[in-house]
Every structure is written in C-alpha cells, then in structure tokens.
C-alpha cells in the first residue's frame, strides 16, 4: 500500500467535517474579526476551504518560493467557501493519488530567496502542512463561530450543540 493512501483516506474523512463547518459560516458576518490582528471570518473560511488543494499543488515541485501571506483573499459567501472546498479536495486527491512512495520521500523545500524556510520529505509536508495546518485553521474557525453564537457541528465527537451519539 502506498504511504499516501492513509493520508488520502484521512483527507476525505476530514473534508466531511470541514464542509459541515463551512456550511455554518454566516454570510452577513464575513468581514467580522475577533481581533484587529486576526483574519476576517471570510478570509479564514476561504483559507480553510482552499488550503488542501493549494498546498497539494505545491508538492508537484521540489522547490517553491514562499507566497506573500500579507492579505489573504476573503470568501464573498458561504457558498463560495463550500464550492472552493469541493474543488480543493479534488485537487489534493489528484496530486496525492499521483504520488508513489519514491515521490513521497523526495525532498521538498519552501524558500524565500536563497533561505530555506521548510525542508522535508513530501510525505512529511502532507502530514504537517497540508493536514495539520488545515486542522489548525479549522480549529480557529470553530472559535470564530462560537464567538458569533453559531452552533458548532460535531467534528471528533459531540460539540455543545450537536451530539451524534445521543439516542
């Protein structure tokens, strides 16, 4: 079994929870920020939606120049975020399905100029940046929604608003 298969399964499972969360993002609060230094709800929602596909697309190269993270784009609607997630997951699946074990162990570098920011095997980048980074921002999104009194879906178990295990 190729190394990437378990991560593909995880990606697909986590996409379901992420979709349920994005579907709850209120259209009328996309400009809201919990703090002046924070992304807006719309920026965070679009980042959560787009990250898997964008990060996977970077893995087709061995060296990538770091993008400018200064002003991330914002979703203009909940529907845009959900549609972006669907496309993003398809792109991530496409890239990962094309990754055999030899490719997965190939070194990957994120650089700024001639300085290495990240250097790791591609499979480690899938785990740490594609998946864990995605979960980190999805967790931020749950906090944003809680602060806006939006009921949270169950993700890894019951939330205060939804219990899939209740009888």
Number of residues written out for the chain: 167
Residue 63's DSSP bridge partners are 109
- 148 φ/ψ angles, rounded to the nearest 5 degrees: -95, 10
Give the model confidence (pLDDT) of 8-17 as tens digits.
Answer: 999 999 999 9
Establish if 153 belongs to a structural domain: no
Residue 68 has pLDDT above 90, yes or no: no
User: What pLDDT does 104 receive?
Assistant: 96
Q: Could you give the percent of the chain with pLDDT greater than 90?
A: 89
Establish if 161 belongs to a structural domain: no
Dihedral sign from CA coordinates of 28, 87, 2, 62? negative
Establish if 167 belongs to a structural domain: no
Establish if 157 belongs to a structural domain: no
- pLDDT band at 136; cut points 50, 70, 90: very high
Establish if 154 belongs to a structural domain: no
Which residues span the domain enclosing 73? 4-147
Distance CA 47, CA 54 (A): 9
Residue 36 has pLDDT above 80, yes or no: yes
Establish if 166 belongs to a structural domain: no
pTM: 0.94
User: What pLDDT does 71 receive?
Assistant: 83
Alpha helices per DSSP H over 23-148: 41-58, 78-97, 101-104, 122-125, 133-147
Residue 53 has pLDDT above 80, yes or no: yes
Which CATH number covers residue 26?
1.20.120.450
Average pLDDT of the segment spanning 25-32: 98
User: What pLDDT does 2 receive?
Assistant: 87
- pLDDT band at 22; cut points 50, 70, 90: very high
Q: How many domains does the chain have?
A: 1
Residue 70 has pLDDT above 90, yes or no: no
What the block records as the tokens of 9 is 């399964």
Establish if 25 belongs to a structural domain: yes
């Amino acid at each position: 079994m190729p190394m990437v298969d378990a991560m593909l399964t995880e990606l697909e499972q986590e996409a379901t929870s992420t979709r349920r969360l994005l579907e709850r993002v209120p259209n009328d609060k996309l400009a809201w920020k919990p703090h002046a230094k924070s992304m807006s709800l719309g920026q965070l929602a679009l980042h959560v939606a787009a990250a898997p596909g964008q990060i996977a697309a970077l893995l087709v190269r061995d060296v990538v120049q770091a993008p400018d993270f200064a002003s991330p784009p914002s979703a203009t609607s909940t529907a845009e975020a959900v549609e972006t997630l669907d496309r993003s997951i398809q792109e991530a699946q496409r890239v990962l399905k094309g990754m055999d074990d030899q490719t997965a162990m190939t070194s990957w570098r994120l650089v700024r100029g001639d300085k290495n920011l990240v250097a790791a095997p591609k499979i480690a980048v899938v785990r740490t940046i594609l998946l864990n980074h995605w979960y980190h921002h999805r967790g931020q999104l749950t906090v944003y929604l809680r602060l806006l009194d939006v009921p949270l879906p169950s993700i890894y178990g019951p939330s205060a608003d939804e219990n899939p295990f209740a009888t």
